[in-house]
Amino acid sequence: MKKDFYIYNTASRTKEPFAPLHDTVGMYCCGPTVYNFAHIGNLRTYIFEDVLRRTLLSLGYTLKHIVNITDVGHLVSDADTGEDKMEKGAKREGKSVWDIAACYTQKFMENIRDLNIQNPDLFPRATDHIPQMIAMVQELERKGVTYRTGDGIYFDTAKFTAYPDFARLDPASIRAGERVDMGDKRSPTDFALWKFSPPGVKRQMEWESPWGAGFPGWHIECSAMALAYLPQPIEIHCGGTDHIRVHHTNEIAQAEGATGKPFVRYWLHGEFLVIDKGKMAKSGGNFVTLDSLKSRRIPPLAYRLFCFSAHYRSPLAFSWEGLAGAAQSLVNLRRDLVAGAKAPSEPADPGNAENLLKDFYAAVCDDLNMPQAMAALWDIVRNEKISPAERRAAAARADDILGLDLLQVPEEEPAESFAGEKDAAIRLTSGRPLTDAQKREIVEKVRQRQRARAVKDWGAADRFRTELTQLGATVKDRPDGTAEVAIQ
């Protein structure tokens, strides 16, 4: 059943009802540049796009979803002086650019999997589509909207009168040379379609073209690959908010300049994850990766849930405290659902789940308002008037969109067995590496405390607890007499 689905279209700057023209909805999302780890800020956008994808599927649409992998180098600056990011990464790690791309593509795929982000239908790589890019540049040449400088073929934005519309630019106020190095460009908004390899320099990544050896410009890959796989106009195109002004504006110029037809119908942009009031950035040195979360024992899905605490078009303030809160929240959510499962209950009625989720779907369909959707879910999960089976059935349906593995039975922390000690009465988990001596000290104190408890010597037991606390070990007694020891 298709509900009314409203999404905010950057092109119109308004919320619009989603009404696709094609039976299969084409969706193109700008993917990662694989020269370094993705940080969790990058990942926020892919989570937003995944929720969009899951919502469309859940509403009954058929999708063709494309996420590109940018594995070709982009220069660091607009002038010819900058280093290529891929080549820079290669130099940093002493590998070839191809190895770098393969390595970080792999890392990206792991992140995606950890976050329950569903795979799109296709992950096209830029380096596999050089011919399509060259063809598009040639078409733009035929249309007479390009010119040649000493270092490349450029798009002449003056020839594309709609250029300022998308980002609502005021052409008169873009002042030449203010922040961009003009090089030989005629206008600050002009951009490279094809760059020539510098004379005498053999780049690791370069291709033959009608204009000689070189490499594609920074925006052509998305226009070329999107149109290679999706019918025009493409229904949905997503990316980060930073792409509006330059990347997507240029994509539109290229695609519409080459084809003379509208490029995309709905543009959606995700806001940034902010940290210490500024955006998380690879260059800022303030970035956090999914691996660093995992090493702190925070499950990736806790981060996914954390992302649902703010609307995708609002900045979300990152903090470890907030993330720990999300982790706790996920544990609570699953626990409450499991608790329901233990109670005797009648089989759930799927039709009723749909009914229970009315508010949930209403929030999701209102431009993916996930904070409100989560509130609606909590109302179900903690509503004792609803039978546990019905709650679980509703949660399972909601999870098609949330992707939080809500019905997963909470697992015990795997107990770390420690060198030389096999004591079934003690389960030790540690958040940091410990020497054998340290382990032995802690284990010995736990044992002494257990002995004291056995003879009801509460005073001694409490003293050992205090000592263990000083060593960073928190002890939890379990009903079966075993002790759970967590070391921070």
24 vs 309, which CB is nearer to RNA? 309
Q: Is 54 helix (H, G, I), strand (E, B) or coil?
A: helix
Q: Is 76 in the site for RNA (CB under 7 A)?
A: yes
Q: Is 365 in the site for RNA (CB under 7 A)?
A: no
| Shortest separation between residue 321's beta carbon and RNA, angstroms | 5
Cβ(54)–Cβ(308) below 8 Å: no
Q: Is 272 in the site for RNA (CB under 7 A)?
A: yes
Q: Is 350 helix (H, G, I), strand (E, B) or coil?
A: helix
Side by side, the strands of the sheet bearing 264-270 are 62-67, 24-29, 234-240, 264-270
| Shortest separation between residue 444's beta carbon and RNA, angstroms | 17
Q: Is 320 helix (H, G, I), strand (E, B) or coil?
A: helix
| Shortest separation between residue 168's beta carbon and RNA, angstroms | 5
Q: Is 107 in the site for RNA (CB under 7 A)?
A: no
- Using the contact rule CB under 7 A, the part of the chain among 35-43, 227-235, 294-302, 417-425 near RNA is 35-43
| Shortest separation between residue 319's beta carbon and RNA, angstroms | 5
Give the closest residue to 2 by CA, choosing from 350, 356, 311, 361: 361
Cβ(34)–Cβ(27) below 8 Å: no
Q: How many CB atoms lie within 10 A of CB 322?
A: 13
Q: Is 481 helix (H, G, I), strand (E, B) or coil?
A: coil
CA distance 370 to 360: 9
- Using the contact rule CB under 7 A, the part of the chain among 18-26, 166-174, 227-235, 421-429 near RNA is 166-174
Residues 281-310 that bind RNA (CB under 7 A): 281-283, 306, 309-310
Residues 311-340 that bind RNA (CB under 7 A): 311, 314-317, 319, 321-322, 324-326, 328-329, 332, 335-336, 339
Q: Is 75 in the site for RNA (CB under 7 A)?
A: yes
133 vs 180, which CB is nearer to RNA? 180
148 vs 478, which CB is nearer to RNA? 478
- Using the contact rule CB under 7 A, the part of the chain among 53-61, 103-111, 153-161, 264-272 near RNA is 264-272
CA atoms within 13 A on the CB side of 25: 22
Q: Is 120 in the site for RNA (CB under 7 A)?
A: no
Q: Is 471 in the site for RNA (CB under 7 A)?
A: no
Q: Is 261 in the site for RNA (CB under 7 A)?
A: no
| Shortest separation between residue 437's beta carbon and RNA, angstroms | 26
214: phi then psi, degrees, rounded to nearest 5:
180, -160
Q: What amino acid is encoded at 108 in this protein?
A: F
Cβ(413)–Cβ(470) below 8 Å: no
| Shortest separation between residue 77's beta carbon and RNA, angstroms | 5
Size of the site for RNA (CB under 7 A): 88
Give the closest residue to 187 by CA, choosing from 78, 262, 81, 263: 78
156 vs 271, which CB is nearer to RNA? 271
112 vs 419, which CB is nearer to RNA? 112
Chosen residue from 446, 465, 485, 487 binding RNA by CB under 7 A: 465
Q: Is 109 in the site for RNA (CB under 7 A)?
A: no
Residues 228-257 that bind RNA (CB under 7 A): 239-247
Q: Is 159 in the site for RNA (CB under 7 A)?
A: no
> What percent helix, strand, coil does the chain show, rounded to 5?
45, 15, 40
Residues 376-415 that bind RNA (CB under 7 A): 378-379, 382
Q: Is 112 in the site for RNA (CB under 7 A)?
A: no
Which residue(s) pair with 317 in the sheet? 274
Cβ(155)–Cβ(145) below 8 Å: yes
- Using the contact rule CB under 7 A, the part of the chain among 75-83, 112-120, 289-297, 350-358 near RNA is 75-83
> What is the per-residue DSSP string for 181-232?
--TT-SSTT-EEEEEEPPTT---SS-B--TT-SEEE-SSHHHHHHHHHHSPS
**x/- letters, 190..229, toward RNA (CB under 7 A):** -x--------------------------x-----------
CA distance 463 to 467: 6
Residues 52-71 that bind RNA (CB under 7 A): 70
